[in-house]
Every structure is written in C-alpha cells, then in structure tokens.
Amino acid sequence: MSKLLRKPAGTSGRVPHVPPENAGWTYVGFDVHRLKPGETVTGETGDREVCLVLVAGKAKVAGGGRDFGEIGERLSPFAGKPWSVYVPAGQPWSVTATTDLELAVCSAPGGGSYEARLIGPDQVGAETRGKGANVRHVANILPEGEPAHSLLVVEVITPSGNWSSYPPHKHDRDALPAESYLEETYYHRINPPQGFAFQRVYTDAGDEGVRALDEAMAVEDGDVVLVPEGYHPCAACHGYDLYYLNVMAGPKRTWKFHNAPEHAWLLKA
C-alpha cells in the first residue's frame, strides 16, 4: 500500500489519526472522530489552531471560551454545506454528539490574535469549477480571505464519472507570487460507500524521465491521502459521487498553484 494512503482504523472513535510527525511533514494535522449520541471528544489546541468540521451529524460544540450550542444540519457530507467552528491556539474545545457524528479536526500552527467563531452554512462560499467531465462543486469553509493564522479548509464534491483537482496542479514551492508551499490532506467519502475513486500524486519528471514521487491509489470510503508535494488529480468512478475535505497549511497562508504545463491546454479547450 502506498505510504501516502491512510486507511481508517475501525468504525468508531478516532479514525484516522494523522498528526504532522506521523505524516512526515511540518504543518497539517488531521483527525476524524466517529461518535454515537452522547459521546464527547475534547482537545487543547496548544500552539496550533483548529477547525472543527461536522462532516455529518449534529453536536453541541464549545471552544475558546464560547458555547455554540447544538449545531449541524446535514446527516451526510453529500447533503448540503457544513457547519464548522474555528478555535485559535491556546484554547480548549469540546464536542458532544447529539446524533451519530462524523467530526473532522483540522489543525495547523497557530498564532496571532484570533477569536473562536462559528462558521455556519450561510458563511461558506459555494462555487462550481470546471466544465463537462471536469465539473466539481466547492464549499470554501476557511479560505484565505477569512481570519486564521495558517489553516485553509475546503470541501469538494465531484459527481459520478468526473475528474477533480484537474488539470493537475501543485503547490510545493515557496516561490510567491507564482506558487506557494502547502501541505495537503484529502479525506475521501464515497456515495454509495461501497464504491471507489482514484488519485495520483506525482512530481515532474527529472532529466532522465524519472519522477521522485509517483503514486497511483485506489481510494475507498473514509481514506485519507497525503499530498506532501507534486500534482494530485483524482477521479470519481461511474455511479459513485466523490466527496473530499481538503486541509492545507504552509509557511504562508495563501493558495497559489502551478498547473502541469503539458496539460495546461485543457484550460483553453
């Protein structure tokens, strides 16, 4: 199995667990908790900031000295925009499930003067990108225009048979304004869940045609894919819609990507 592919460790509790040191990088941390009604998970942000995303279900959420009450609406990630809570560094948080709950804990280095806040569906910008078999639907949970120190969080739904993160692009060089360095995780869900999708993570070929990284993965429901560098397109198989939650972070909080030059013609087609 690819070193970039992380399978869920069971069906309840914390599944999966991807701290930065386990991923072999510096910035992004990602966990998913599956809770039954009445179960609680708590945390301390420490020197990191956190975005709590209710992937599916409802919960009572508190963080950063604020009680946000019961939030959540959708019971599936394929059924509308999410509810989320941002918690800055140095603050505690707690989540108590009031229904079956799928909670994503997205983290990155914190700093600055930020306050805990609720991010409701009406605050999540929605857009459709691409055309034809490249159409996908984007929900911007924590984009660079919203306050945070280093976290960027976005959801994408790719319809059956379509491509996403395509044409292939990368963001693995700290070379602004042309490109920013951002680590990234993809948390995949499939509808119906017995399906699968594909994702490739690869770098440019060197002088002898050899790529430093080239991994092609069959992605199943609940899998996490790590993108430490390189291009990272994915495809939804016919009959199955693909959801993924992206978490990105790096030395500068901006998303500037570089398209694979051999595929750039697709943007004009």
Distance CA 155, CA 212 (A): 29
Q: Residue 198 — very low, low, confident or very high, per pLDDT cuts 50/70/90? A: very high
* Beta bridge partner(s), residue 183: 249
pLDDT tens for 108-152 read 999 999 999 999 999 999 999 999 999 999 999 999 999 999 999
Distance CA 50, CA 61 (A): 13
Mean pLDDT across the chain = 96
* Beta bridge partner(s), residue 137: 128, 157
Q: Residue 252 — very low, low, confident or very high, per pLDDT cuts 50/70/90? A: very high
* Tokens, residue 134: 């490249």
pLDDT tens for 36-46 read 999 999 999 99
Instruction: Specify whether the CB–CB gap between 66 and 93 falls below 8 A.
Output: no
What pLDDT does 254 receive? Answer: 96
Residue 208 predicted with pLDDT over 80: no
pTM for this prediction: 0.96
Torsion of CA 172, 30, 167, 181, to 10 degrees: -20
